[in-house]
Amino acid sequence: MPANPPPSLILTRPQAEAGDDARSLALRQAGVVLHHFPLIRILPPRDAAAAAQALAALADFDLAVPVSPAAVHAALGMLRTPWPEACAVGLVGPGSRAAFEQALRARGESSDTLRIISAPAEAADSEGLWLALQGLCASLPQRRWADARVLLLRGGAGRDWLADTLTAAGARVYRVSVYRREAPAPDEATLTRLRSLLADSGGSAGRATWLLTASEGVRNLQNLLAPAGLQASVLGQHRALATHARIAASAREMGFGRVDLCTPDTASILQALRVS
């Protein structure tokens, strides 16, 4: 009998995040064939001066929250001085934490002297980070969020749950865009690649599994189907791994034949791929 083909996984993260990072390397070493099809493009912010000004004042904030790995890379790419010890770092899950620590090392800096609070893998969202941040609140001079200065580093408009919750608790929340997100351009190269990935059989990926890490990316995929001459029903033959329940709901609504939840760490992804 022929040997089973190695599992294939389509990474849909922005290209800036999808290179040979530790997770991609570990997946390859485990025998997973990786395909990159970014469903979000990362571009510079429209107001780079405002972003640079906010980052220059990091020491004046009690907490800064880069809301995604893309925000981590963008913020540290613009930061001209070491991250100040006075400003704690809030990170929405292990992916952002790994990106932050990796980016610090690339700058020749250490995270040892920084206070880093991240949501756990099993609750890698704003709600999980909010719970993790309660220890920081207890260490503030006023021992409450009232008048604490919080800087949210993000990519334009996004989910405001954390900002609204911090504001309701009395914090002074400042939002700044350090990058912007756009959908993939529906050019012929992109559409040809999509048709190959969604082919009924054969193709470069065969029955590759889609790793979906953002609801926005799911919507962008949906908007590419018609320009590619594809019906939404084609997704019924494909499987997706979603890193959050909201993303899973979007993928099911879009028509993926099978959607499973997994945390965005290597072990969880590998375990999910092994489950047929």
**Same-domain status, 196 and 265:** yes
Judge whether residue 202 has pLDDT over 60.
no
**Residue at which a domain ends, from 181, 196, 215:** 181
pLDDT at 197: 94
| Cβ neighbours of residue 25 closer than 8 Å, sequence gap 6 or more | none
* CA–CA distances in Å: residue 22 to residues 28, 104, 266, 267: 10, 15, 9, 12
| Cβ neighbours of residue 115 closer than 8 Å, sequence gap 6 or more | 85, 88, 89, 136
**Which residue, 30, 250, 276, 261, is CA-closest to 123?**
261
Q: What confidence tier does 2 reach under pLDDT thresholds 50, 70, 90?
A: very low
Find where tokens 């993928």 sit: 251
CATH number of the domain enclosing 60 = 3.40.50.10090
**Same-domain status, 12 and 77:** no
pLDDT at 147: 85
Cα(40)–Cα(13) distance, integer angstroms: 7
pLDDT at 16: 55
**Same-domain status, 25 and 139:** no
Cα(122)–Cα(132) distance, integer angstroms: 12
Read off the pLDDT of residues 179-201 as tens digits, 9 standing for 90 and up: 999 999 999 999 999 999 998 54
Note whether 230 and 194 are within 8 A (CB): yes
What's the structural domain count of the chain?
2
Task: Give the residue, 250 or 135, on which the prediction is more confident.
Answer: 250
Find where tokens 């980016």 sit: 103
Extended beta strands in the chain, E state = 8-11, 33-36, 41-43, 63-66, 88-91, 116-118, 149-154, 172-177, 180-182, 209-212, 239-242, 258-261
In a domain, 269, yes or no: yes
Task: Give the residue, 20 or 63, on which the prediction is more confident.
Answer: 63
**Same-domain status, 195 and 267:** yes
Cα(260)–Cα(262) distance, integer angstroms: 7
**Which residue, 147, 160, 177, 169, is CA-closest to 66?**
177
Beta bridge partners of 152: 65, 175
Mean of the pLDDT values across residues 151-158? 86
**Residue at which a domain ends, from 147, 181, 215:** 181
How many other CB atoms sit within 10 Å of the CB of residue 187? Answer: 10
Judge whether residue 219 has pLDDT over 90.
yes
Mean of the pLDDT values across residues 147-175? 90
Taking CB atoms within 8 Å and a gap of at least 24, the contacts of 44-48 are 44/179, 44/180, 45/74, 45/155, 45/156, 45/177, 45/178, 45/179, 45/180, 46/177, 46/180, 47/177, 48/78
pLDDT at 40: 92
Read off the pLDDT of residues 64-114 as tens digits, 9 standing for 90 and up: 999 988 999 999 999 999 999 999 999 998 888 988 998 999 999 998 999
Extended beta strands in 12-164, E state = 33-36, 41-43, 63-66, 88-91, 116-118, 149-154
**Same-domain status, 58 and 106:** yes
In a domain, 2, yes or no: no
Note whether 138 and 145 are within 8 A (CB): no
Phi-psi region of 220 (alpha: psi -120 to 50; beta: other; left: phi over 0): alpha
pLDDT at 186: 94
In a domain, 245, yes or no: yes
In a domain, 261, yes or no: yes
What is the residue range of 140's domain? 43-181
pLDDT at 145: 86
Note whether 9 and 208 are within 8 A (CB): yes
